[in-house]
Every structure is written in C-alpha cells, then in structure tokens.
Chain A
Amino acid sequence: MQKSGWSEFEIGAMLRSFEGATNNIAITHQEDRPYSKSNSFTASVADWRIVKPVFNKEYCIDCQFCWIYCPDISIISRDKKMIGIDMDHCKGCGICVEVCPTNPKSLLMFPEQQDEEAALSEWPAKEKKEN
C-alpha cells in the first residue's frame, strides 16, 4: 500500500474503515473487527508517548471512569471489568489517572522506559484521611 501508484487506489480523498461489508459493528469488539490496512487502528502511535499509565489491578474497583474518560478508546474493558490498556494507541495524556477514584490510585503515570514490575513494586500506600 505504501508504494501504490496514482492508478492503484479508489478515487477521492477517501479511506475505507473495514475490509468488505460490516454489520453490527458497534457491538463487535475491536479485536474482532475487520479493520482495513488504512484504518488508524492498524497503526501504532505508541512512540508519541513519553510517560505511560501503569494499571494496578489490586486496587481497581471497575468503576469504568477511565474507560469513559479516555479520549483514545485505549482502556480495554470487557464485561465491565478493566483488563488493561491498549499501548499501541495510548498517548500518555494521564486523564485516566486523574479520574481514577481509588485510594491509592489504580492507574499511575511512569516514565515510558520504566519496568512495569518495578513500577508496581513502588506503588504508594493508601493515604490516610486527616482528622
């Protein structure tokens, strides 16, 4: 596709989202969708990120705030259970961390190169309420 000539693509500044016809796409999980090669889902933008969210399952209450607030649909949730982050599309904005309501937070930002096990091992303790 990268080297296609002028006569080798459909006319118009137009891209197809999927290969062939689709139906009920709204209730099909991303991993099951027939995304086309030109769909942005097939491109990784992980290198846009300089800090990353790390998910600590131990404290998560599956409230879905992060899933709702993520501007890039990069929180992966199945059956209302938070199961991880789509690291190909997460751009490290930190909104998920900001909205996480648990104590301590279940999502925290770390430098992109930080080892995940190390990040989890230095997770902060529960903050005590004053008074």
Chain B
Amino acid sequence: MADTMELRDIEVWDGNMAAAQALRQVQVDVVAAYPITPSTPVVENYANFLANGYIDGEFVMVESEHAAMSGCIGASAAGGRVATATSAQGYALMVETLYQASGMRLPIILNVINRALASPLNVNGDHSDMYLGRDSGWIQFDAYNPQQAYDLNFVAFKVAEDHDVRLPVMVHQDGFMTSHTAQGVKTLSDEVAFNFVGEFQPMNDMLDLDHPVTHGVQTEEDWHFEHKARQHNDLMTKVFPKIQAAFDAYEALTGRKYNIVECYDMDDAEVAVVCMGTSVETAVEVAKEQRAKGIKAGVVGIRVIRPWPFEQIAQAFQGCKAIAALDRSSPNGAPGMLYNELAGTLYNAATRAVLTGYVYGLGGRDLTKSLLNQIYADLVANAAAGKPTTALQQLIGVRGPKLEFL
C-alpha cells in the first residue's frame, strides 16, 4: 500500500512537479518513459515517488519515445492506469504510436511540455509539437500555469477513462515558462484527489483471462473507415459533455472553474486576442491596461484544442469587431492553425469580425507586452475600418525587415 504524502494547502511547484504530483495522487499503475527536456522532471519525479513508496506502480525505462508510448499502449490494453510525458523531438518520435493509442481507444494521459521542433535544435517553449498532434485523435487540454497543469491532469484521467469516451488525453503546458517556473499551487489531499478520479475501471482488458481479446487488429478498405468514423463521431459528440461534467465536478470540489473556451473581458469586447499557453496570462494583463485606456479589449484562451470547440468559439465572439489569432508555431507556408480554425469556425457564424493572424514566440522568444499593445492597436484600426488594415499574417518579435504576408 502506497504511503500518503502530507501536502501543505499551497505548495511551491513548477509545472513539471505539479503534473508529477497529480500522477502520484491518481496512483498511475504504469509509466513507460524516456527523458527529454523540458519534460524530464515529470517522469523523474514520478520515479522518485515510486522509489520512496508513495506509488504502487511500475516505472518502465525504455530506449526511445516510440517505445515509451508503445509500452504505455501495452500497459493500457492490459488494463492499467497509464501515463507518461514528453516534448518536441520525443513527441515527434511518438507520433506513429499516438495514432495507435487513440485508434485502440486507450485512456492514456500524456503530459506534453511544449517545446520547439528542430531544426535548428532548441529546447525552449513554442507550440509546434502541440500542433503536430492535432489530427491524432487525442483530446488536448492546454494549461497556462502550474496550477492548471495540476488541475487538468485530474480532469484528463476522469474524462479519458470514462467508458463512454475511452480516448487518450494530452495535457499541454509551455516548456520552461510553465514547466520550470515555480508558483504557488493549491493542492488536494491524496485521498480527495484520488477519489475525484476513482479506481481505474478496466474495459476489454487483456488481463481479463475469461474474455480473451485481440487488440490492435488490421483492417483494410472494408473496415478502416468505419473505425475512424466511430472515433470521429465520439470526439465530436461525446467528449464535450463529459469534459463539461468533469469541469463542473472539479469546480464543486475545489472552487476552481475551467471552461472549454476561456473568455477574459469578452462580454462587451470589440477587439480580442486569441492565444494559448502562457501567452494568455500576458494578454489578459495587457487587455486590462487597454481597458484602462477606454478600449474594449478581451482575450480568448483555447482550453480544449481537440476536439475543437466550434460552437463555444462562435459564441465567444458575438459582438466582437476585430480578432487576432496568435500562432506560436511556424505555419511553414500557410496561415497559422488558430487563424485557419477560427476562420473556419466563424465563416458561417453571425459575427463578421475582421480576422487577422500573427506568428510569434518561436523557439521560446518572449511575447512582450509592447508586442501585444501593437496587436491591439492593429485591431482597433481594423475594427474602425471594418476591414483588415494590415496583412492577414504578420510575424512579430523577429529581427530583420518586416515580414508580412497575404
């Protein structure tokens, strides 16, 4: 029996420790992991807890991230509660198995500590790895600070393991900006945390020897489409109600409220910035400063990236006149992902807000308040003109001649 860890009501944790403590508190059975900066402390801390008797689990050291997720898939199909963590190049190496995990409907939790994808090699935070997984059939949550990284892990297990869902979940946080920045984190006791998620309820597990099953079967043109259609249907129809129910239950337990789309000062906002990760907190601060100057500024943070909250997004921008989509990943020859998703979402919606896009913060480059002030100045001009006054895509915070396209 695992030992209980006595926690203070507020602990000073960085995002990695917050995620690791959540994995300990839900008593993850198997972590198969391979270290990579900046995610390493998540699994390192789990291994530490395990070695010190705080977890009744198994830590499997493997030879690559591909093997890490493969080990997680095997352990999950066998019937265990399973989690791991990775970043950037490791995430890229995992991609093949990410699709396996979701197609096999295995409720694995992956903490992704967002980091730029090489080349050039870079260990700092941007969202290129997070974007890479967006068609992989996983549910994706985004945390903006260590507290949220802690809280969203519990919600992730609760949603993933629900027998009506049975889909893997990624909990994202920004590399270094969140993962290595210690902040006060309000904790749950081990008992309360575990009871929120509950005992793992296996489904079609390989260790149920009275009901033998074959996992990971091959299908060709006669069956493949039906399986993918089923998974897409479940992502489109079953996941949001379960996420909302889990958010509601978590709020009832802790008082901390999460929303599928996070709106800050959006009730009467005329100009709005849409972003993810730590950028949301900076943008919220700048929006308040803009409001002090009489500009009706707001911020929308995407909390659930997949499934994409189409209806909630359309709802969020009613009355808005100009929107900026901030993408922290090089689109490499296209508009940014957030720009495209927002354009697709809003094209048939009631709003006719002007939509422009910005690419920022690659490889951990800071998103400064002055950059956000410039964005809001652009938005105010767009709102007044009723059309874009800038290029549809601008790269901001990069040295050299101004880069803008479209």
List chain A positions with a Cβ less than 8 A from chain B: 2, 4-7, 9-18, 21-23, 25
Measured between alpha carbons, how far is A2 from B220 in the docked complex, in Å?
Answer: 13
Minimum Cβ distance to chain B for residue A66 (Å):
27
CB distance from B105 to the nearest CB of A (A): 4
Would B204 and A14 count as touching, CB distance under 8 A?
yes
Alpha-carbon separation in the docked complex, A17 to B215 (Å): 11
With A12-B104, A12-B204 as given contacts, are A5 and B226 in contact (CB-CB < 8 Å)? yes
Question: What are the residues of chain B within 8 A of A22 when measuring CB–CB?
Answer: 210-212
Interface class of chain A by DSSP: loop
CB closest chain-A residue, reference B234? A11
Alpha-carbon separation in the docked complex, A59 to B219 (Å): 44
Return B323 CB to nearest CB of chain A, in Å.
36
B residues in contact (CB < 8 Å) with A: 103-106, 166, 204, 210-217, 219, 222, 225-227, 229-231, 233-234
Q: Which single member of B166, B210, B214, B222 contacts A11 (CB below 8 Å)?
A: B166
* Docked complex Cα distance between A4 and B223 (Å): 9
Q: Can you list 21 A-B contacts (CB < 8 A)? A: A5-B226, A6-B233, A7-B230, A9-B230, A10-B204, A12-B103, A12-B104, A12-B166, A13-B103, A13-B216, A14-B105, A15-B214, A15-B217, A17-B212, A17-B214, A18-B211, A18-B212, A21-B210, A21-B211, A22-B211, A25-B212
When the two chains form the complex, which single residue of A6, A13, A23 contacts B215, counting CB atoms closer than 8 Å?
A13
A13 touches B213 (CB 8 A): no
The 10 closest A-B pairs by CB, nearest first: A12-B105, A6-B226, A17-B212, A6-B229, A21-B210, A15-B214, A11-B105, A6-B230, A13-B217, A12-B104
Q: Which residues of A contact B212 (CB under 8 A)?
A: 16-18, 22, 25
**A residues in contact with B225, CB < 8 Å:** 6
User: In the assembly, what is the distance between CA of A25 and CA of B166, in Å?
Assistant: 29
**Inter-chain contacts of A16 with B (CB < 8 A):** 211-214
Closest CB in chain B relative to A26 CB, distance in Å: 10
Is A14 within 8 A of B104, CB to CB? yes
> Please, how many angstroms separate the alpha-carbon atoms of A14 and B166 in the complex?
13
- A13 & B166 in contact (Cβ 8 Å cutoff): no
Residue of A whose beta carbon sits closest to that of B232: A6
Shortest Cβ gap from B167 to chain A (Å) = 9
Most B CB contacts (10 A, CB to CB) among A4, A13, A17 go to A13
Give every chain A residue within 8 A of B226 (Cβ-Cβ).
4-6, 9
Question: Which residue on chain A has the smallest CB distance to residue B105?
Answer: A12
